[in-house]
Chains A and B, each alone.
Chain A
Amino acid sequence: MHRPPTVARYIIGLAVRGDEKPFLMADLDEEYESISRSAGRRNAYRWYWSQVPTYSVVVILTLTFGIGSLAAVLSVVHSVLVEQLPFAAANELVLVREADIERGGELSRVSPPNFLDWRDQADSFAELAAISQAGVILYAQDRAVQVPSMYVSAGFFPLLRVQPLQGRAFSRADELDGANAVAVVSQAFWTRQFGNSEIQTVTAAIVLNDVVHRVVGVLPDGFRYLTPVDVWLPLTLGTAQRDESMRGARYLDVVGRMMSGLDIVQTQERFRRLGEELAIHPNNAGWNISVTSLRDDITADVALPITMLAVAVGFVVLVVIANLMTLVMARATRQWRQVALKSALGATSMRLFRQTLVEQGLVAAIGAATGALLAAWTIDILVSLAPTSLPDVAEVGFNGITILVVVGSSLAVALILSLAAMFVTLKLSSGTLVRASTSLSETRTVVFVRNSLIVGEIAACIVLVIGAALLTQSFVRMRAVDPGFVSKDVYVGFVSLPSVRYANSDSKVAYARRLLNALEQEAAVSIAAVGTNLPMSGSSMDFGYRIEGTTDTQPTRSSAQYHAVSSAYFSALSIPFSFGGSFDDGAESVPTVVVNETLARRVWGDQNPVGKRITVISRNGPTSREVVGVIADIRHADPTAVPTDELYVSFAQDPWPFFSVVARAERGVDEGLLGRALDARMQVIDSRLPVNGIAPLDDVVARWRTPLRFQMVLVGIFAVFALSLAGVGIYGVIAYFVNGRTNEIGVRLAVGANRVDIVKLVVSKGLVLTVLGLVIGMGGAYLLSTSIEPLLFGVNPHDITLYAAAAFTVVGLSLAASFLPARRASMLDPVRALRDT
């Protein structure tokens, strides 16, 4: 005969005490066998589980949630905020950037000439390497695929202290014009392309961007810098990049390693002096150099949300512990007679404590085991909150920290609960055994402790409820933001033209034309356009401009977000014009520009700017352009971004090798159809181009709300969980109060108190505890909500109505929880109440 479910058997065993246990367990086994014989094993299993007492299930579920969420959040906190980055001496690594002093120190990437000057002149206090992100197209087996890749300067690998597994890294010679095309690849990429063969770099070649590259090195397995990359290429720092005109073209990321012995303040000071020296170059006027620790930089955006979650989990754990303590104390009171008897028969306190500890330890162990399962499952979800640039976070999982938290917290729980149980027992035993025969009334101290626990629970609860309400409000506000464009029914795709086959401007323009013409043939497409930097796609370009015809009161230097777009771009995104219109496709030789309202208002006030001229300084140097239209502001960077100056020029006049395709669906067309059409047309026009990032623009926009939504949902779950526990807690305490006061209530009823008076008496008891908890909790929430202000959007962290609503929720819950026992008390028969107690 097979055995009943072990876990269920265990839990039941824990819930049953004393002499009954062997008989009860044997009875259960007997019935299990009999059911399994008559109704099958599955039914028997289910039946056995139904025998588990609700009390045990509640305790274990509470522990599961408490320990599980604690372990999951602390595992993520540890790997994101505590653990070092996976590089040798990672605390020496810094990011070095240019800082625009005139714009309040706004940070920017670095121009090649500046990087080269730094590299030469900072070598006494820092090693430096430059990085430029780029998508590279690989041709293999007649297919083109986009490969994650990075252009890096010669010092990059030595700086990170990584040695190629085979072959070599880059040298400075690889940076120069006319150097051989070489590449360093990841171990995974190597295995995919060449199998497990030993590297023969002379013969190993791959075609990247239509050029044959020799693979000169293979990196150790798992190496990555911020993002996973398959192919590293030498960053070209040739004549063109060294040209003085490039000093304003800031597009490089620079990573540095401080010389050992220097701290970040000293390094920053040296860079500041270097920056002052380099300010002699006209393009550096008003700029300096900024140094940030790599670690701080990477975690800057997530430190706060993760800390907030950790604090929230802390409050949840408080509620869990307080709740379990009240449960255990109530049970200890009920079972006191049994303990008193044992004690009278000679059991020492120590022995009783050991027994309690074992019992609580077993409950905690089961809760910890299920909690660990919950943690293992939720860590993956939590990781989605972390930035993708954080190395190894993707691999955060069930690790040593998780186990440590699970084991540690279950031991702590067992100890705390045993102490709570012993506390009650000892308090009661200080009376005599005779009291065991009289009705139970708890001592003042026990009552005080239980009431304090409830007050604490309510306080923690209100903090969580207010936090959840603030985040929810922010999410609702953010979703309601009008970004200035309509993302619905729009599909986007990303194109990157390799420079070999699309060397000159004409070929790029021709490709874009062919693609747009083809898309316009599609029945599903109503408008198609191209543009270099889609809103909310995370990409942007910044170029300078000058106003013509005015000399007074203009700032010395202005720059704006720069876009090269086809003329239908604005209508494809439903961006309205406030003046003029888009470029004229028929007259593409005339240099024109479309500006946004923010720029127009700042420069020309309320005048109609159409016909005015500005000089746009783009990568091809300054061009005088006539303003043909003004568009309404859009939120470019993200839904919370304040609109900044924007310039749009015709893609035909400034074709870039990388751009996005935007296609608006014909009314009523299925979005999926549009996506497939986009994919197919792009394939037909150039099958050797990979098709990338085809997605609804809605998804691109929604990505910005994902972190907030995640925080909202998580804190919301915590709040609901804490609320339900607090509800149970209040109910328990009030029910106990009523039981203990049966006599008193009987007297009151007998001397003429009516039922309503009794309900009031009992409910007010719960209300006093609730209000006390509310006051403490609201104070805490007021202080804590200030620190999460950066996570909020469009909501005051001290919004009085929101606090009031949260207070109402908790008071309502408390009233509901104490009403049940109150009603029972009011229904007492005074005669019986007096006789029975």
Chain B
Amino acid sequence: MSKGKFLAEFELFVMLALARLGNDAYGVSIRREIESRTDRPVSIGAVYATLGRLNDKGLVIHSISLPLPVPGGRSRKYFQLSKQGRRALAHSAGMLTQMMEGVDMGAWSTE
């Protein structure tokens, strides 16, 4: 299902989180973003695995920060959507919106 041009649900979530977080997207912040918005537990390992897959597909790029200015401070790996990634996200999101058009989701969620 995760093959080809379609994005799996979790891939979509990660990409949307990247889009939201802009320059501040790394493991911790991505995890928090998805967890707080979807209200479902997310493991950092799963985030990394998905980022790895997206990287293989060329949808994300990453940069490594300088060590934090504290003793023993560490580097972070920041992720961003690539050009191709932004296109894929727009494509997927667009399709999703089109599919949802006219469906009364509100009525369902109160069921």
Contact = CB atoms under 8 A, between A and B. Distances in A.
Nearest to B55: A20
Interface in A11-61: 12, 15-16, 20, 22-24, 26-28, 30-31, 34, 50-51, 53
Contacts of A12: 45
Contacts of B44: 24, 27-28, 31, 51
Nearest to B45: A53
B45 A15 contact: yes
A23 B31 contact: no
A102 interface: no
A24 B27 CA distance: 7
A24 B48 contact: yes
B31 A26 contact: no
Interface string B52-75: 100000000000100000000011
B44 to A, nearest CB: 5
Given A23-B76, A26-B76, A836-B4, A31 B45 contact: no
Majority-rule SS of B interface residues: mixed
B36 interface: no
B13 interface: no
Nearest to A55: B45
Nearest to B41: A50
A354 interface: no
A51 B48 contact: no
A22 B48 CA distance: 12
A835 interface: yes
Contact of A26 (B4, B41, B74): B74
A53 B26 CA distance: 20
A12 B4 CA distance: 30
A53 B64 CA distance: 25
Q: Report which residue of A12, A16, A24, A27 has the largest number of chain B beta carbons within 10 angstroms of its beta carbon.
A: A27
Contact of B77 (A23, A51, A835, A836): A23
A27 B42 CA distance: 13
A273 interface: no
A15 B32 CA distance: 22
A16 B74 contact: no
Given A20-B48, A836-B3, A836-B4, A27 B43 contact: no
Contact of B28 (A22, A27, A832): A27
Given A23-B77, A26-B74, A16 B45 contact: yes
Interface in B1-54: 3-4, 26-28, 31-32, 41, 43-45, 48, 52
Interface residues of A, number: 19
Given A15-B45, A50-B41, A31 B31 contact: yes
Contacts of A27: 26-28, 31, 44, 76
Contacts of A51: 43-45
B27 A23 contact: yes
A50 B40 CA distance: 13
Contacts of B43: 50-51, 53
Nearest to A439: B3
B110 to A, nearest CB: 30
Contacts of A22: 74-75
A827 to B, nearest CB: 10
A24 B45 CA distance: 7
A31 B77 CA distance: 15
Contact of B4 (A15, A31, A53, A832): A832
Nearest to B26: A27
A207 to B, nearest CB: 71
Nearest to B3: A836
Nearest to B46: A53
A506 to B, nearest CB: 82
A835 B32 CA distance: 36
B52 A20 contact: yes
A23 B75 contact: yes
A50 B74 CA distance: 24
A573 B2 CA distance: 73
Contacts of A30: 28
18 contacts: A15-B45, A16-B45, A20-B48, A20-B77, A23-B26, A23-B64, A23-B77, A26-B74, A26-B75, A27-B26, A27-B44, A28-B27, A31-B27, A31-B28, A31-B44, A50-B41, A50-B43, A832-B3
Given A23-B75, A28-B27, 9 more contacts: A23-B27, A23-B77, A26-B76, A27-B27, A50-B41, A53-B43, A832-B3, A832-B4, A836-B4
Interface of A: 12, 15-16, 20, 22-24, 26-28, 30-31, 34, 50-51, 53, 832, 835-836
